[in-house]
Amino acid sequence: MNGGDERTVRYEPTSVKDLLVEMKDTSELLIDLSYSAVLHASPTVAEEVVELEHRMDVLQMRARMSLMLAARNPKDAETLAPVLGVISAAEKIADAAGDIAKIVTEEIGLPDAMRGALSEGVETLVRGTVAAESAYAGRTLNGIDLESETGVRVIAIRRDDDWILNPGPTTRLEAGDVTLLRGPEAGVADVFPELSGEPFEPNPPAEPAIDDLERAVDSIVLMKNLSELAVDLAYGSVLFDNEELAEEVSNLEIEVDALQSRFEAWTLRAAREADDPVSLRGLIHLGVATEEISDAALAITEGVRRDLDVHPVVEMAVQESDEIITRTVVTEGSDLDGTAITDGVPATDVSTSVLAIRRPEDGWLLAPDIDTTLRGGDVVISKGTRTSAAEFDALAA
């Protein structure tokens, strides 16, 4: 186990399909929490990354056990090999997220000016334990209606050693639940005391950033967003056996590599002006881990890129999935050419959410910051139901 963790893992009769889906959700949450821990200098969120990393260790071990039991002949071994590659890549993502969290837990440190270079739109993320006397204890998220009232979302819950990922409207909060809250600082300031019974302590105002450091931080934030998208698309390419999504993961990995080079140059230039150049060590640490995440995303797609047969456990996961991720090229003169996007959703009757656009002359445009109009030649990465995906493709053709 990583980090000296000696928890015993025993085989449990869990399907590989279920383990893959949970590993996907855990990977995405690990990345999200690790960056949030650093950007908000939050030791409590960093501690949750460590807990979740242990959870990923358990999932990986159980998935390997299940794969060994599932391989009954050479053909099984051949079709399960790519799944084993997915598991190994997930481990690399978890390790990279843990390395990012160490910037906080081991006090590697980041320059104070870093937060000054972040956009004002970065949401606050905090960890809060539901107090026994909280008005939220015993109520469902739908009943509390936090998001519409305050803009704050509960993105995950840890209940003892169990995790509830992507909690839904019917999820009930219980006293002692460790919740991860995300939203605008004003909303968090209202919700956190009500939930935990403790005062909310916002981060102190950030120092203004020096120009080269600001450019370096802008690069790392873009690398973070591209790496997160790469992981999402990589799992999608495997679950849906989609070569086009795998190709976009390769494009994203190339873009992250290019950003990494620029990021290193800006960081070295910033070191000339920094009062304490050693304070930039954490920033370099962050850049290396971010590139490792994009590399791991590319590794997840290896079986798809090599056109290897998909094992039935993956096919079952696809068949039971309500949402799929698609890659659509907008044809000039089509119904989508000239359609405006608001909050990532096309202004049509199609229930499809746009995750990102790759525009030949502009590169990647990522949601939720997309405030643009689709045009011919755009490569659109979207998520929606199978029916809506087919309708979306028809509109783009």
How do the domains of the chain map onto residue ranges?
2-116+210-312, 124-196, 323-396
Residues 241-277 pLDDT 10s: 788 899 999 999 999 999 888 888 887 887 777 777 7
Task: Please check whether residue 6 is in contact with residue 35, taking contact to mean a CB–CB distance below 8 angstroms.
Answer: no
Least confident of 10-19, 94-103, 297-306, 373-382: 10-19
Residues 270-299 pLDDT 10s: 777 777 777 778 888 888 999 999 999 999
Q: How far apart are CA 168 and CA 166, in angstroms?
A: 6
Name residue 75's amino acid.
Answer: K
CB within 8 A of 51, min separation 6: which ones?
158
Q: What was the pLDDT predicted at 136?
A: 94
Which numeric CATH code is attached to 124-196?
Answer: 3.30.70.1450
| Other C-beta atoms lying within 10 Å of the C-beta of residue 28 | 17
**Model's pTM, two decimal places?**
0.76
Preceding amide of 368 cis, omega within 30: yes
88, pLDDT greater than 50: yes
Q: Which two tokens stand for residue 281?
A: 């060590």
Strand order in the sheet with 352-359: 323-329, 379-385, 352-359, 363-366
- Identify the CATH class of 2-116+210-312: mainly alpha
Q: What percent of the chain has pLDDT over 70?
A: 82
Protein fold of 323-396? Alpha-Beta Plaits (3.30.70)
30, pLDDT greater than 60: yes
Judge if 124-196 and 323-396 fold alike in CATH terms. Answer: yes
